[in-house]
Chains A and B, each alone.
Chain A
Amino acid sequence: GESVGLHLPTLSVQEGDNSIINCAYSNSASDYFIWYKQESGKGPQFIIDIRSNMDKRQGQRVTVLLNKTVKHLSLQIAATQPGDSAVYFCAEKANDYKLSFGAGTTVTVRA
């Protein structure tokens, strides 16, 4: 079946450095992707999304890159801060009524 997965389950990054979180997807027909952030004890929060007709989209301190050729999605966080410590999920629109989520990457920011 279709799946959305993250390359690494954990990522440790020094405060102030840039973070890159990767995600591979298998459904070449997916046309919409989302990144969520989940802090401890909370529900997932929307970070940024991208449609398949785009290669890059920028938000506040975050950039999402989409490479449809290799079915790869990445989230870049600039100048990582302690508040960025969380689990990050990528998700793809599997059909009109469903999102499929990856297993998540836990980001830990070192002071």
Chain B
Amino acid sequence: EAQVTQNPRYLITVTGKKLTVTCSQNMNHEYMSWYRQDPGLGLRQIYYSMNVEVTDKGDVPEGYKVSRKEKRNFPLILESPSPNQTSLYFCASSPSTLINRREYFGPGTRLTVT
């Protein structure tokens, strides 16, 4: 089944404790991205990757890191989480075409930082 998977689905952590949210897709998509979703703000892009070893900042990259060492995986790293990073996070992937930018979303990771 074609899908985007994220782990963990739920995470409660404390300020400053490094964490990684994993994302994997099995559709051989070149493009992957991370979003955060907050009430009233919709989805805001954190980082995106056009291909292996190619990443760039989205709209809200501060406090986050990403890496793309393999085509299928795109982990999101919070080196020193803070309470304002409490949010619902989505990973997404897309075929890399200039016209079709439909993104396939994962199920989400709900993160709480205390």
Give A contacts to B, CB under 8 Å.
9, 32, 34, 36, 41-46, 49, 51, 89, 91, 93, 96-99, 101-104
B74 within 8 A of A: no
Per-residue CB contact flags for chain B residues 51-70 toward chain A (1 = under 8 Å, else 0) read 00000101000000000000
Q: For chain A, what secondary structure do more than half of its interface residues adopt (helix, strand, loop), or is it mixed?
A: strand
State whether A99 touches B90 (Cβ < 8 A): no
**Nearest residue in A to B45 (C-beta to C-beta)?**
A98
State whether B42 touches A97 (Cβ < 8 A): no
CB-contact partner of A43 in B42, B45, B100, B107, under 8 A: B107
Closest 7 CB pairs of A and B: A43-B105, A101-B43, A103-B42, A101-B42, A44-B105, A93-B101, A43-B107
Shortest distance between the CB of A105 and any CB in chain B (Å): 10
Please indicate the chain A residues that have their CB under 8 angstroms from the CB of B92 in the complex: 43
**Nearest residue in A to B97 (C-beta to C-beta)?**
A96
Please indicate the chain A residues that have their CB under 8 angstroms from the CB of B45 in the complex: 98-99
The tally of residues in B whose CB lies under 8 Å from a CB in A reads 26
Shortest distance between the CB of A38 and any CB in chain B (Å): 8
16 contacting pairs across A/B (C-beta < 8 A): A34-B102, A36-B105, A41-B108, A42-B107, A42-B108, A43-B4, A43-B92, A51-B99, A89-B42, A89-B43, A96-B98, A98-B45, A101-B35, A101-B42, A102-B42, A104-B42
Please indicate the chain A residues that have their CB under 8 angstroms from the CB of B58 in the complex: 98
Please indicate the chain A residues that have their CB under 8 angstroms from the CB of B56 in the complex: 97
Bound together, the chains give a CA A97 to CA B90 distance in angstroms of 17
CB-contact partner of B50 in A42, A46, A93, A97, under 8 A: A97
State whether B48 touches A98 (Cβ < 8 A): yes
Bound together, the chains give a CA A99 to CA B102 distance in angstroms of 9
